[in-house]
């Protein structure tokens, strides 16, 4: 299961501190990891906090102290952490947080969608989205290298789709402990508070004369991130044979109709593409792995060759002009000389299934848009009873 | 006190950290208050209760005698006024407008 894949990566990473409060569908990560702690397989100080707000606060303290730190949450738990998420990124702490994406109340729903992490998309964290258990494992390991890179020093979240990935039983290649340990290396903290010979002050107040300068300075880590994510993805690939970039293209080389999507649904889209290709429809997929910082150049370059694009958002619009991914993709294409037509579908909210038939329908509509030039409805829902 | 030179964003330590401890003496932390603390030399007995109790080290003392107030760091909390034993009080809060 995806949760176990993340827990296994955590065992190999052996963080100094893990502070967490379990919440469905990421409970299994905390359970499995707590067992590793109880069995003495890790040296981690495991803090079972009384809430997610406390969990993230403990992580901030531990990371400021100089530790390699991780937590796990999703949905309401992530919402409850919200206040402290900005503290972590503002203080440039190299935390890693695994998320099993889950819908937000109300109505209460424990199943998967991206509304939780999309609500924190501008909190200054790096976002990596994983398609399956293997990517969940691989991304968790790489996340520490990205977060701790001296040019980045920014918290990273690794997201998997709640249930679709968190509870999906799949084959997983687990790298040897030695390889993972060597890959992530020793944690070299920057200005650790526990270095009492060199005292520093974390979390000072700013008046208007310095706040904006500090926020600009914070952005440096995010600006440097794409290069580091790419380089670490390549380094990891050289060791394991599984290469990672900011985005992943699937059969995009000759495609006219592309879907842009994140996480588990990318797997379904690949299946639909293979079937459509046999029917002679040149369908392609652009999967976003790093949503923050948004890889606008890579997206524009990849999609500029297409005629029509559908962006699939697993998150509502909240009154915006479309889903969050759609807004990013459409903006990225604005500078193109002859950009493709871009439409948006909201799908899979609260764990709603997305059978291949609906994905194929999207491609058929894209083909129609390319043929007629008529875009039709800009934002619509997929697999909605109406 | 000379005017602070504001740093550019590129010159700031990572994460808004303050690396040089005890640097508040270089920063005017009390210049926002609309009220001001004034000291009356004529009634002061230099008992230094104000100096002991001041949470911001804003009572200036030289050779065991009060010599004035550091208005750039005093937050006008009024603790010194409260503990001052002289009658009338040797420390008083006045409105900036009056000053």
At A35-80, the pLDDT tens digits run 999 999 999 999 999 999 999 999 999 999 999 999 999 999 999 9
Question: A379: closest CA among A303, A320, A307?
Answer: A320
Q: Of A114, A139, A118, A132, which Cα lies nearest the Cα of A246?
A: A139
Q: Which one, of B98, B93, B89, lies nearest residue B42 by Cα?
A: B89
* CATH number of the domain bearing residue A355: 3.40.50.920
- pLDDT confidence band for A92 (50 / 70 / 90): very high
Asked whether residue A192 is domain-assigned, the answer is yes
Q: Which chain B residues contact residue A124 at CB under 8 A?
A: none
Contact A86, A125 (CB under 8 A): no
Residue A386 lies in a domain: no
pLDDT at residue A339 is higher than 80:
yes
Instruction: Clarify whether residues A231 and A361 are in a common domain.
Output: no
Asked if A232 and A320 sit in the same domain, the reply is no
Number of domains comprising chain A: 2
**Whether residues A119 and A253 fall in one domain:** no
Residues A234 and A358 in one domain: no
pLDDT surpassing 50 at residue A363: yes
Q: Does the pLDDT at position B25 exceed 90? A: no
Q: Is residue B33 part of a domain?
A: yes
- Give yes or no: residues A229 and A255 share one domain: no
Residue B11 lies in a domain: no
Kindly report the nearest CA distance between residue A110 and chain B, in angstroms. 35
Which residues are CB-neighbours of A309 under 8 A, at least 6 positions away? A257, A258, A259, A260, A303, A329, A333, A340, A341, A342, A343, A366
Residue B78 lies in a domain: yes
Question: Which residues from chain A sit within 8 angstroms of residue B17, using beta carbons?
Answer: 91, 191, 200-202, 204
Asked whether residue A47 is assigned to any structural domain, the reply reads: yes
Among A240, A274, A305, give the residue marking a domain's end.
Answer: A240
Q: How far is A125 from chain B (nearest CA, A)?
A: 13
Residue B12 to residue A217, Cβ atoms within 8 A: yes
Report residue B98's pLDDT band, with 50, 70 and 90 as the boundaries: low
Structure confidence by residue, pLDDT tens digits, B38-60: 999 999 999 999 999 999 999 99
pLDDT digits (tens, 9 = 90+) for A5-43: 999 999 999 999 999 999 999 999 999 999 999 999 999
Q: Are residues A268 and A233 in the same domain?
A: no
Q: How far apart are CA A326 and CA A309, in angstroms?
A: 10
In CATH, what number is assigned to the domain containing residue A208? 3.40.50.970
Section A274-302 average pLDDT: 97
Q: Report the pLDDT value the prediction gives residue B26, as an integer from 0 to 100.
A: 80
* pLDDT > 90? residue B2: no
Write the CA distances from A379 to A112, A148, A283, A311, integer angstroms.
Answer: 21, 39, 20, 9
Structural domain span for residue B39: 29-95
Domain contains B10: no
Contact yes or no for B14 and A90 at CB 8 A: no
Mean of the pLDDT values across residues A220-233? 98
Contacts of A193 in chain B (CB under 8 A): none
Domain end residue (candidates: A214, A240, A266): A240
The four Cα atoms A59, A32, A23, A130 give a dihedral, to 10 degrees, of 80
Considering A190, A222, A240, which residue would you say is the last residue of a domain? A240
Query: Which chain B residues are within 8 Å of A190, Cβ to Cβ?
Result: 14
Q: How many domains are contained in chain B? A: 1
Whether residue A178 is found in the same domain as residue A272: no
The CA distance from B81 to the nearest CA of chain A, in Å, is 27
- Residues A261 and A163 grouped into a single domain: no
Which secondary-structure segment (H or E) carries A269? Answer: helix A265-278
Please check whether residue B44 lies inside any domain of the structure: yes
Examine the domain organization and report whether A109 and A226 are in the same domain: yes
H/E segment holding residue A57? helix A52-65
Task: Judge if A172 and A254 occupy the same domain.
Answer: no
Please report whether residue A29 resides in a domain.
Answer: yes
Rg (CA), chain B: 16
**B5 domain-assigned:** no
Q: Which residues of A touch B6 (CB under 8 A)?
A: 209-210
Give me the CATH number covering residue B54. 3.30.70.20
Best mutation target among A200, A209, A212 (most B Cβ atoms within 10 Å) is A200
Calpha distance A187→A96 (Å, rounded) = 13
Alpha carbon A94 to its chain centroid, in Å, reads 16
A214 to B9: CB separation less than 8 angstroms, yes or no:
yes
Chain A residues touching residue B12 (CB < 8 angstroms): 210, 213-214, 217
Same-domain check for residues A204 and A326:
no
pLDDT band at B1 (very low <50, low <70, confident <90, very high): very low
Q: For residue A312, give its domain range.
A: 247-381
Residue A66 and residue A29 share a domain: yes
pLDDT recorded at residue A202: 96
Q: Is residue B36 part of a domain?
A: yes
Using the beta-carbon criterion (under 8 Å), do A91 and B18 form an inter-chain contact? no
Q: Chain A interface residues facing chain B, Cβ-Cβ under 8 Å?
A: 90-93, 153, 190-191, 199-204, 206, 209-210, 212-214, 216-218
Q: Rounded to an integer, what distance in angstroms lies between the CA atom of residue A55 and that of residue A17?
A: 11
Across A294-302, average pLDDT: 98
Closest CA to A193 of B15, B87, B5: B15
**Which pLDDT does position B60 carry in this prediction?**
97
Of A191, A210, A212, the CB nearest to B17: A191
> With left for phi above 0 and alpha for psi between -120 and 50, is residue A385 left, alpha or beta?
beta
């Amino acid at each position: 299961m995806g949760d176990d894949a993340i827990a296994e990566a955590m065992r190999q990473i052996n963080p100094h501190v893990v502070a967490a409060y379990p919440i469905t569908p990421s409970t299994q990560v905390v359970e499995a990891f707590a067992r590793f702690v109880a069995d003495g397989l890790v040296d981690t100080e495991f803090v079972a906090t009384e809430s997610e707000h406390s969990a993230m606060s403990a992580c901030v303290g531990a990371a400021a102290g100089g530790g390699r730190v991780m937590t796990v949450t999703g949905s309401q738990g992530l919402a409850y952490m919200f206040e402290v998420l900005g503290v972590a990124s503002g203080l440039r702490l190299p935390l890693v947080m695994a998320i099993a994406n889950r819908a937000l109340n109300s109505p209460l729903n424990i199943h998967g969608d991206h509304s939780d992490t999309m609500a924190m998309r501008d909190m200054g964290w790096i976002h990596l989205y994983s398609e399956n258990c293997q990517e969940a494992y691989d991304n968790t390991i790489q996340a520490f290298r990205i977060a701790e890179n001296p040019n980045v020093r920014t918290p990273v979240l690794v997201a998997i789709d709640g249930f679709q990935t968190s509870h999906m039983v799949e084959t997983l290649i687990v790298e040897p402990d030695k390889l993972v340990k060597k890959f992530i290396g020793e944690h070299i903290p920057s200005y650790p508070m526990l270095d009492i010979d060199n005292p520093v002050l974390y979390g000072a107040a700013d008046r208007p004369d310095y706040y904006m300068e500090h926020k600009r300075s914070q952005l440096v880590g995010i600006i440097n991130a794409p290069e580091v994510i790419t380089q670490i993805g390549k380094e990891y690939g050289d060791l394991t044979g599984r290469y990672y970039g900011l985005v992943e293209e699937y059969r995009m080389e000759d495609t006219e109709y592309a879907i842009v999507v994140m996480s588990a649904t990318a797997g379904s889209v690949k299946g639909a593409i293979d079937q459509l290709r046999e029917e002679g429809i040149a369908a392609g997929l652009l999967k976003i792995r790093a949503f923050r910082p948004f890889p606008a150049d890579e997206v524009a370059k990849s999609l500029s060759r297409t005629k029509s694009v559908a962006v699939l958002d697993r998150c509502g619009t909240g009154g915006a002009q479309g889903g969050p991914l759609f807004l990013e993709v459409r903006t990225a294409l604005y500078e193109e000389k002859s950009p493709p037509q871009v439409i948006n579908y909201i799908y899979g909210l609260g764990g709603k299934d997305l059978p291949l038939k609906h994905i194929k329908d999207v491609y058929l509509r894209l083909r129609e848009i390319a043929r007629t030039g008529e875009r039709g409805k800009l934002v619509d829902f997929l697999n909605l009873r109406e | 006190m000379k005017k602070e030179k504001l740093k550019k964003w590129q010159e700031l330590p990572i994460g808004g950290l303050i690396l040089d401890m005890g640097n508040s003496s270089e920063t005017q932390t009390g210049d926002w208050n609309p009220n001001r603390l004034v000291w009356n030399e004529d009634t002061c007995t230099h008992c230094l209760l104000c100096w002991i109790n001041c949470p911001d080290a804003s009572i200036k003392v030289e050779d065991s005698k009060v010599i004035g107030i550091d208005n750039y760091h005093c937050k006008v909390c009024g603790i010194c006024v409260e503990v001052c034993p002289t009658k009338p009080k040797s420390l008083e809060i006045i409105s900036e407008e009056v000053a």
